[in-house]
Chain A
Amino acid sequence: MASWSQLEAIKTAKVLMVGAGGIGCELLKTLALSGFQDIHIIDMDTIEVSNLNRQFLFRQSHVGQSKAKVARDAVLKFRPHISITPHHANVKDPEFNVDFFKDFNVVLNGLDNLDARRHVNRLCLAAGVPLVESGTTGFLGQVTVHVKGKTECYECQPKPTPKTYPVCTITSTPSKFVHCIVWAKDLLFAKLFGDKNQENDLNVHPSAGTNSTNPTEDVFERRADEDPEQYGRKIYDHVFGYNIQVALANEETWKNRNKPRPVYVRDVLPDKLIQQNGSLEKNCVTEESAVSAMSSLGLKNPQDVWSLAENSRIFLEALRLFIEKRQKDFGNLAFDKDDQLAVEFVTAAANVRASSFGISLHSLFEAKGIAGNIVHAVATTNAVIAGLIVIEAIKVLQGDFQNYRMTYCLEHPSRKMLLMPVQPFEANKSCYVCSETPLLLEINTRTSKLRDFVEKIVKNKLGMNLPLIMHGSTLIFEAGDDLEEDVAANYALNLDKALAELPPPVTSGTVLTVEDLRQELSCNINIKHREEFDEEKEPDGMVLSGWVTPTEKDTRVVSNGESTSTAQLAEKSDEVETAPDRSGTKRKLSEMSEMMDNIHDTKPCSSLDIGDQLNPQEVEDNGDDDDIVVLDESPGPSKRKKLQ
């Protein structure tokens, strides 16, 4: 198939694959069949049952084992004489530093989260190694090529970070089901089963400021002798009844909104059914592994939308089962989409809350998808994308830069093409990652603390994992475990100070330098003081700008969605973060840039839904024979230039 020079390039290439999942399995297979002989794979995950519909190198018997290792073993079976080195580790670990990356001729990403992708992007830039990026969601996919000095880097077009919601929307005025899920998962579940010392907005009252000994604090504490069922009913009444009633008292909030309805156990579940619940339980023998409220209540189908009464029963039963079977994990439990009982609890809680607020209820299947950031996925798209990755990789190895392409895999043909190749653009001159342009941060320097800056800007927006921050020649903060005690103590003090109170003070006009040594990324930020921020539009209370801001339609990332670990990063003190939520808009096939809306955001579909697919409106056949689609510039501030 390949020409002689291609074969040579392939035979001698040393390739790094990051990710051995959906794309990774197909990619490893294709690389091996194409003649590659020296492949390294990094993947920190283990195999799960839900992988088996597409990650074909794995079998049922491999569940729980390392993906990187099992993938390697499977491929060596049909190509025994090639070298595949698995690394069962996190690509962000220090061992994978710039020197490690420098060893490779090309890096191929098959990741499922933005954070790792940015990290790899920076290391590839620092090491001067070309990167082939990719992503898939359902039937959509894409492959992009990033070569330093020749094309855009992965971050030249900023990718949106996961959607966050204002605190008040979650705690007081939900209007969509996803708000209820976030409440159930990050507030209620966390409050009951998670770290007790974490700040939790569950008891936020509009009339905060009363200095009573806060009797509500005791509601969530269960006394050792308190009957689990009674405790459950107490919690139910508190969060769905009492809290709503208190919220209703604040007239302002409800002036332009529909008022919620408080819900109490006695209204939804008449007494005798509760007793029946008890006797049902005694008849069921639940083994450790099959702890499920659904099974003990006989609700078999996760795609059914339960009634308020059924949801309430599930809520109470799940809570009871948590107490009776999982007590020892209390204080440590984080929501895990593969934890059946947790999913049941969160579904039920979200539904009861939704019912209160007049929001439509959802099935467990749907709720699980939202709460767990589940991305729909199928084998064929991954196979196609893997093939495209290898094609681009071979071009990269030969330095054939005229022929590099970004390729988009559509669900329905546009202009009779299912795969749309696009020429890469030149690097964005104002990309802070590859072009070292300074950024601008508007922030209230008198009220915002250094800690807020570090968490929201440096770590979240800039994606730096081990940052250090300099103000002129003074180090005002450094992350790391290996700091000396007095130095670390000093930084801890700094974190709690407002920016304007730091030594030396950070005020309007200050330039801060933020660095991550591991990523070899350094960035200057100009600080500008601003008093007020819009709570809805700017929930962070600070605004970072200076590189190309994407227009709504400009984002063209198709990725495998976030793994649950990143969704749990939400321990920000005044914000609750959640799964990106798919906007569900339909797009015209004729508009390239709209097509690739960030499908990073997903919404699971109900059993009858075919999901949020590109709308197959009439496909215009205007007889174009172009095999390269020239992107129409979406109206954005930058003029991106094609590669010459």
Chain B
Amino acid sequence: MAAESKTKYDRQLRIWGEQGQAALEKASICLLNCGPTGSEALKNLVLGGIGSITVVDGSKVEAYDLGNNFMLDEESLGQSKAKCVCSFLKELNDAVKAKFVEESPDTLIETNPSFFAQFTLVIATQLLENSLLKLDKICRQANVILVVARSYGLTGLVRISLKEHNVIESKPDHFLDDLRLHNPWPELKQFAKTIDLSVTDPVVHKHTPYIVILVRLAEKWADAHDGCLPSTRQEKKEFKDLIKAHMLNLDEDNYKEAIEASFKVSTPRGISSHLCQIINDAAVQVDSTSPDFWVLVAALKVKSFLLLVFKVPPLISFVL
């Protein structure tokens, strides 16, 4: 990225980074009908450095357009609206490639559907339903994202239509703490057994690590409930009460931590059906054209168990 554009885009680079910027600059957008809504949308994309725009609009600039669309002024009267909007946008950011097609979008949809295949995304404004239905079919077949927008006074709508959109979070916002409490491994169970929960010395009592408390009490619960762990709301509440009942006095931080983390005992075992659906999807038969997302899922499937990354949270009351 050239130094000047780094300066110009500095503030937005701090939101979506270089990868986001690169994605913007690779994209090509088609706008159908450049009324106020469509023009405003393009203005935001162009300011951000979108790769290219193509404006399709068959109308000429009339008097009622003036004062309604800030890209048009008196000099634009009588000219192609698409042409005027394009030249305004070009001024806004000359790094963006801008083209216009002086043609009614309805006509284009009817007579030249293959036109749309070249774009990453189509923004359709001021179109009627039958045109939109046709356009949607065309876009889906060509794997082009469709965004439909309409606005009336103070109301409006935006609708997105696309087959599939996958995202790989290279830096997830947070890791789920998973203590494996619903299925403690043998060494943890053994360790937990060595600790006497009902020790009378108050100092030792308040230093029992909360994980041990949870492992032991979960086991106790399971013994009284046919091997099941708390799952309904009522049961989870009762489990919390069980923990509370073991407190010697109110300032025991370890028991408070245990109560706060008690829901972790209820984490369902195994993989959710939702995840199973993804893993068993046909797209997992990957080939060289598959997106990265499906390649990763395919790799996961090969493993016989899921590798979960978890972080062990600090324990307030842990004593080595």
A interface residues with partner B (beta carbon < 8 Å): 1, 29, 32-33, 49-50, 52-54, 56, 59, 75, 77-80, 138-139, 302-303, 365, 369, 374-380, 383, 391, 586, 604-611, 613, 615-616
Decide: A379 and B48 in contact? CB cutoff 8 A: yes
Residues of A within 8 A of B8 (CB): 49-50, 52-53
B70–A303 CB distance below 8 A: no
Known contacts A53-B47, A605-B17, A613-B173; A374/B11 CB under 8 A: yes
**Is A377 touching B73 in the complex (CB atoms < 8 A)?**
no
CB < 8 Å: which of A376, A606, A608, A615 contacts B173?
A: A615
Of all chain A residues, which has the CB nearest B47? Answer: A379
| Contact A378 B171, beta carbon cutoff 8 Å | no
Contacts A49-B8, A50-B7, A50-B10; is A606 near B17 (CB within 8 Å)? yes
A284 to B37, CA, bound (A): 50
Chain A proximity mask over B1-45: 1 for CB below 8 Å, otherwise 0: 000101111111111111110000000000000001000100110
Which 9 A/B pairs are nearest by Cβ-Cβ distance? A376-B14, A1-B153, A377-B11, A607-B17, A607-B18, A376-B15, A379-B44, A379-B47, A49-B7
Chain B residues near A379 (CB-CB < 8 A): 43-44, 47-48
> Is A586 a contact partner of B170 (Cβ separation < 8 A)?
no
Is the C-beta of B161 less than 8 angstroms from some C-beta in chain A? no
A77 in contact with B73 (CB, 8 Å): yes
Report yes or no: A607 in contact with B19, Cβ–Cβ below 8 A. yes
CA distance A75 to B71 in the complex (A): 10
Whether A375 and B11, one on each chain, are in contact in the complex, defined by CB atoms closer than 8 angstroms, is: yes
Bound CA–CA A383/B254 (angstroms): 49
Q: Shortest distance in angstroms between A624's beta carbon and chain B's nearest beta carbon?
A: 20
| Interface size of B in residues (CB-CB distance below 8 Å) | 41
How many angstroms between the C-alpha atoms of A551 and B87 in the bound complex? 51
Chain A residues near B19 (CB-CB < 8 A): 607-608
Please give the distance in Å from A328's CB to the nearest CB on chain B.
25
Q: CA separation between A54 and B9, bound complex, in Å?
A: 9
Chain B interface (Cβ < 8 Å from any Cβ of A): 4, 6-20, 36, 40, 43-44, 47-49, 66-74, 91-93, 153-154, 170-171, 173-174
The contact of B43 among A56, A75, A79, A365, by CB within 8 Å, is A56
List, in ascending order, chain B residues with CB within 8 A of A78's CB.
66-67, 69-73
Contact, CB under 8 Å: B174 / A54 = no
- Given that A59-B91, A608-B170, A609-B171 are known contacts, is A53 also in contact with B48, CB under 8 Å in the complex? yes
Q: Which of A138, A383, A391, A586 contacts B15 (CB 8 A)?
A: A138
- 10 A-B pairs with C-beta separation under 8 A: A50-B8, A53-B47, A54-B47, A138-B14, A302-B6, A376-B11, A378-B48, A606-B17, A607-B18, A610-B15
8 Å CB contact of B67 from A33, A138, A383, A391: A33
When the two chains form their complex, are residues B14 and A604 in contact, meaning their CB atoms are under 8 A apart?
yes
Residue of A79, A379, A605, A606 ringed by the most chain B CB atoms within 10 A: A379
Q: Output the least CB separation between A627 and chain B (Å).
A: 13
Chain A, Cβ-Cβ closest to B17: A607
Check B9 against A53 for contact (C-beta < 8 Å).
yes
Contacts of B73 in A (CB 8 A): 77-78, 80
Which residues from chain B contact A52 at a C-beta distance below 8 Å?
8, 47, 93
Contact check, B15 vs A139: say whether CB atoms are below 8 A apart.
Answer: yes
Complex Cα distance, B196 from A394, in Å, reads 69
A77 to nearest B CB, angstroms?
A: 5
Q: Which residues of A contact B93 (CB under 8 A)?
A: 52
C-alpha spacing A138/B6, complex, angstroms: 17
Q: Tell me which residues across on chain A come within 8 A of B17, comparing CB atoms.
A: 605-610
Residues of B within 8 A of A50 (CB): 7-8, 10-11
Query: Most chain-B Cβ atoms within 10 A of its Cβ — which of A75, A586, A607?
Result: A607
Q: How far is the CA of A365 from the CA of B67 in the complex (A)?
A: 41
A375 to B11 Cα, complex, angstroms = 7
Evaluate contact between B18 and A303: CB separation under 8 angstroms: yes
Residues B154 and A1 in contact, CB atoms below 8 Å apart: yes
